[in-house]
Amino acid sequence: MPITLTVPHKLATIRWVLAYGLFAVPLLILCHVLQGWVLAIPADPANGPAVHFLDVGEGSAAWLEDGDGNNILIDTGNPISGNRICRILRHAGVNRIDTLIITHPHPDHMGGIFCMMPRLRTDHLYDNGQPIPGRPDCDLYRWYVQLFRSSEKYRVLQRGSRLEWNGMSIEVLWPIAGNYSRNWNENSLVLRISTRGKYALLMGDATSKVEVRLLEMDPEALKADLLVIGHHGAGDATSLAFLKAVDPKWAIIPVNKDNIRGYPSSKVLKRLRDNGTVVYVLYKQGDCTWDFSDKGPCCVRK
């Protein structure tokens, strides 16, 4: 395998440890000795898939690698954090996004596209298809339609949709086609990632009302090893019945420090602890990577 000089992002360091164990330690020491220049082993498809939950402050973003060179991005944080996502991807050698999914067009989930899309080639664009008024109150939504939905690459995802790559799939559990609420959070895409016999359930901003509908339709389809908590840990999501159905080993809460709305809810955190779920709050733990193994996420502060 060729060895090249590069300056990788910290997430690449996590991948080394996950893939090469103690062999990675001398390389990490060398990283500090050379003040950032390291001997980096190029990405190897044999390393397998991974999902990176990015600490983007107020918002949500997840970068998914299928282990075969394809990169999928689920949400892009807010307009301020989009630049950080670009830096992360560029430092990891990513210049092309195979698939970009926006769970719903709230600014803390779609805002990063205005920085990212002009800089990174993106092959496929998806969101939930919810109606956006032709003359919305906020100009940001009008610009979102112009940049994202007006592209010929754009398609709508709904319950029953399925995206597949090499040994990896994303199943869409919500929303039901045409069943849109005035509450945009209730229209959020709910996505279940499957690979290596492991499952990650990403709730976007879905609330307890959505959870009730999902439980009514197919509670077995909610089982997951890892759960990204809905609505940034707000008290209007992650009901006890829903949590029991998912029964995750690990939970990710994408939220910023001193959140203006008081997220995450102390009741949600207690509910997770009582369930025996290990909780990762991104503003505390930083970027977290899971390689769909039994080891759980590995995190590093910015």
> Does residue 3 sit in the same domain as residue 63?
no
DSSP 28-42: HHHHHHTTT-EEEPP
Helix (H) or strand (E) holding 296: none
Q: Identify whether residues 20 and 154 lie together within a single domain.
A: no
Tell me the one-letter amino acid at 88.
I
CA angle 49, 83, 35 (to 5 degrees): 75
CA separation, residue 280 to residues 55, 80, 194, 229, 301 (Å):
11, 23, 20, 10, 12
3-state secondary structure of 214: helix
Q: How far apart are CA 39 and CA 161, in angstroms?
A: 41
Q: How far apart are CA 233 and CA 267, in angstroms?
A: 9
Residues 23, 104, single domain; the answer is no
Residue 6 and residue 111 share a domain: no
Q: Both 169 and 23 in a single domain?
A: no
Domain containing 129 equals 48-300
On whether both 65 and 34 belong to a single domain, the answer is: no
Residue 47: alpha-carbon gap to chain centroid:
20
Task: Return the pLDDT at 302.
Answer: 66
Same domain membership, residue 82 and residue 18: no
We report the CATH number of the domain holding residue 103 as 3.60.15.10
Q: Contact, 59 vs 75, CB < 8 A?
A: yes
CA dist 72 and 80 (Å) reads 21
CA neighbor of 244 nearest in space, from 206, 280, 293, 211 = 211
User: Cβ atoms within 10 A of the Cβ of 51, count?
Assistant: 25
Burial readout 246-259 (b: 16 or more C-beta within 10 A, e: otherwise): bebbbbbbbbbeee
Q: Are residues 105 and 22 in the same domain?
A: no
Tokens (6 digits) for 185: 């959070």
Does 38 lie in the same domain as 166? no
Contact between 77 and 112 (Cβ < 8 Å): yes
- Phi then psi for residue 164, to 5 deg, are -135, 145
Q: How many domains does the chain have?
A: 2
My answer on whether 143 and 251 are in the same domain is yes
**Are 79 and 221 found together in one domain?**
yes
Instruction: Please indicate, yes or no, whether residues 57 and 23 belong to a single structural domain of this protein.
Output: no
**pLDDT for 68-85, tens place per residue?**
999 999 999 999 999 999
Task: Show pLDDT as tens, one digit a residue, over the chain (302 residues).
Answer: 332 333 344 555 455 445 545 444 443 443 333 333 222 223 334 478 999 999 999 999 999 999 999 999 999 999 999 999 999 999 999 999 999 999 999 999 999 999 999 999 999 999 999 999 888 788 999 999 999 999 999 999 999 999 999 899 999 999 999 999 999 999 999 999 999 999 999 999 999 999 999 999 999 999 999 999 999 999 999 999 999 999 999 999 999 999 999 999 999 999 999 999 999 999 999 999 999 999 999 999 86
- Helix boundaries (H) for the chain: 10-20, 24-33, 82-91, 107-110, 113-116, 139-144, 208-217, 240-246, 266-274, 282-285
Q: What is the pTM of this model?
A: 0.86
DSSP secondary structure code for residue 211 in this structure: H
